[in-house]
């Protein structure tokens, strides 16, 4: 019996060794075939002696296809609809053309579909609404057109819906408010019009809501911050929203980005924005700031704002305190700021302003603190008015100030080039 057992074990070991040898041979052959795919002689040679054909893959069992960042082109084959077990499909960042195949709706187990950054055209198929298990639909940066199909509201489990950078048009369907699991909604840079359905503000799970550069209009609900308490990013610049940013937005304690630049907002900035401790970007530029006639303090320091200061800021006649330091503002300091007769504190330091200091700043008789340090300002420093009265004026780290003034009672460093030079009382 022992002899028979040993013989059996020996035979199994020999078979296993031969199997491993076959696998190693096939692996080497595959490497050679891929390396010399254009040489028929090499292909013929490495194809010999490989034993029986390998067992094929049963495509009906495929659950995961991840082909992102390749060089695939052409259309997505209709046969994708035969992959009934497919759960994950990512074809993003290729050069695929044509339309989204209707047959993909037969992949009823699909959880994730990523088709972003291709050249797909046509409309979003209505039948995608039948993918009841879909959690992520990514269609960003294609050439999709038409309206958002109302059937999108059937995707009750969807958490991420992204179709920015397309040519979608029309109104947002009311059915989008049925997406009660939605966390991320990205639909910027399209041609969408109309108002955002009020019921969409009931999607309390929404964390990132971006729809910049469309033609959306209407007002923001006063209870926005209570309806969307989990918001981290709300970016709807370049539209036609009106009225004001609601005070309730400060209830969104996780907010990091508020961008309503280039709309038609008016009224007062929420007085308690300082409660948003996580806020790192706030943009309300290009709105009707001139109607903020009662605002006394304007503080947007330590962000990454860029562009020029809105000229209409000079129309906020009650302003006493402006702090815009540590941003990326550029251009000239607008002369309209000299209309703020009651201004006492003005800090524009650590930006990229150029040109000269507006001459009429010396007429701001209540100004006690002026900091224009670390910009690219140049030219002549005025020698009269506020420059002789203010208790603190800081101009450190600018390009080339000349002709500083006398009779000042503070230490002033003028230039990066001349940091050791100073002017004091004589």
Structural domain including 363 reads: 292-426
- CA distances for 175 relative to 184, 187, 214, angstroms: 16, 16, 20
Place of tokens 């503070």: 410
| Banded model confidence at residue 36, pLDDT cuts 50, 70, 90 | confident
| Residue whose C-alpha is closest to residue 342's, from 310, 364, 311, 357 | 364
Is residue 246 situated within a structural domain? Answer: no
pLDDT score, position 282: 72
pLDDT tens digits, 332-355? 998 888 888 899 999 999 999 998
Within-domain flag for 348: yes
The answer for residues whose C-beta is within 8 angstroms of residue 183's C-beta and 6 or more apart is 159, 160, 205, 206, 207, 208
Residue 394 lies in a domain: yes
Yes or no: say if 380 and 405 are a contact pair by the CB < 8 Å rule: no
Give me the pLDDT at residue 2, please: 52
- Residue 411 region by backbone torsions, left for phi larger than 0, else alpha for psi between -120 and 50, else beta: beta
Closest CA to 163 of 143, 192, 147, 140: 140
In 3D space, the residue among 171, 124, 133 whose CA is nearest the CA of residue 151 turns out to be 124
What pLDDT, on the 0 to 100 scale, is given for residue 315?
79
Instruction: Report whether 350 contacts 326 (CB < 8 A).
Output: yes
pLDDT above 70: residue 23? no
Q: Give a yes or no: residue 16 inside a domain.
A: yes
Is 284 within a domain? no
Express each pLDDT in 174-206 by its tens digit. 999 999 999 999 999 999 999 999 999 999 999
Q: What contacts 309, CB < 8 A, 6 or more positions away? A: 324, 329, 331, 333, 334, 337
On whether residue 208 sits in a domain, the answer given is no
CB 208 within 8 A of CB 183: yes
Q: Is residue 28 part of a domain?
A: yes
The radius of gyration computed from the CA coordinates of the chain, to the nearest angstrom, equals: 32
Residue 391 lies in a domain: yes
Taking the C-alpha atoms of residue 415 and residue 280, their distance in angstroms, rounded to an integer, is 30
Q: Is 216 left (phi over 0), alpha (psi -120 to 50) or beta?
A: beta
Asked whether residue 154 carries a pLDDT value surpassing 60, the answer given is yes
Number of structural domains found in the chain: 2
Beta partners for 332? 354
Q: How far apart are CA 76 and CA 83, in angstroms?
A: 13
Start-to-end Cα distance in the chain: 115
Q: What is the CATH number of the domain that holds 381?
A: 3.80.10.10
Question: How far is the C-alpha of 136 from the C-alpha of 50, rounded, in Å?
Answer: 43
pLDDT in tens, 47-102: 777 666 655 567 778 999 999 999 999 999 999 999 999 999 999 999 999 999 99
């Amino acid at each position: 019996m022992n002899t028979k057992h040993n013989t059996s074990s020996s035979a199994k070991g020999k078979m296993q060794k031969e199997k491993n040898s076959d696998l190693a041979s096939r692996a080497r052959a595959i490497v050679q075939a891929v390396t010399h795919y254009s040489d028929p002689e090499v292909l013929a040679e490495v194809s010999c002696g490989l034993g029986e054909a390998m067992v094929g893959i049963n495509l009906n069992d495929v659950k995961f296809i991840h082909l992102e960042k390749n060089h695939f082109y052409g259309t997505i084959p209709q046969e994708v609809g035969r992959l009934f077990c497919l759960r994950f499909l990512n074809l993003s960042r290729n050069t695929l053309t044509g339309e989204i195949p209707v047959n993909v709706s037969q992949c009823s187990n699909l959880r994730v579909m990523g088709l972003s950054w291709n050249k797909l055209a046509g409309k979003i198929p209505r039948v995608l609404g039948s993918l009841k298990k879909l959690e992520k639909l990514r269609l960003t940066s294609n050439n999709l057109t038409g309206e958002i199909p109302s059937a999108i509201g059937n995707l009750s489990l969807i958490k991420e819906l992204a179709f920015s950078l397309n040519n979608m048009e029309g109104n947002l369907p009311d059915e989008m408010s049925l997406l009660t699991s939605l966390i991320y909604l990205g639909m910027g840079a399209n041609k969408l019009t109309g108002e955002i359905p009020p019921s969409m503000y009931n999607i309390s799970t929404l964390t990132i809501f971006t729809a910049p550069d469309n033609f959306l209009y209407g007002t923001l609900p006063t209870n926005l911050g209570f309806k969307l308490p989990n918001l981290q990013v709300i970016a709807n610049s370049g539209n036609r929203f009106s009225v004001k940013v609601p005070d309730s937005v400060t209830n969104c304690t996780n907010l990091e980005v508020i961008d309503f630049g280039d709309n038609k907002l008016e009224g007062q900035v929420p007085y308690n924005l300082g409660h948003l401790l996580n806020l790192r970007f706030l943009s309300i530029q290009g709105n009707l700031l001139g109607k903020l006639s009662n605002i006394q303090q304007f503080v947007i320091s330590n962000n990454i704002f860029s562009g020029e200061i809105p000229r209409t800021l000079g129309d906020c006649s009650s302003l006493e305190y402006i702090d815009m330091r540590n941003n990326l503002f550029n251009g000239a300091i607008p002369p309209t700021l000299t209309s703020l007769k009651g201004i006492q504190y003005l800090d524009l330091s650590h930006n990229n302003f150029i040109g000269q200091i507006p001459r009429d700043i010396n007429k701001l008789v209540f100004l006690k603190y002026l900091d224009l340090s670390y910009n690219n300002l140049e030219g002549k420093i005025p020698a009269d008015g506020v420059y002789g009265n203010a208790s603190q004026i800081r101009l450190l780290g600018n390009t080339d100030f000349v002709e500083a003034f006398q009779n000042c009672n503070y230490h002033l460093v003028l230039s990066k080039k001349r940091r050791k030079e100073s002017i004091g009382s004589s």
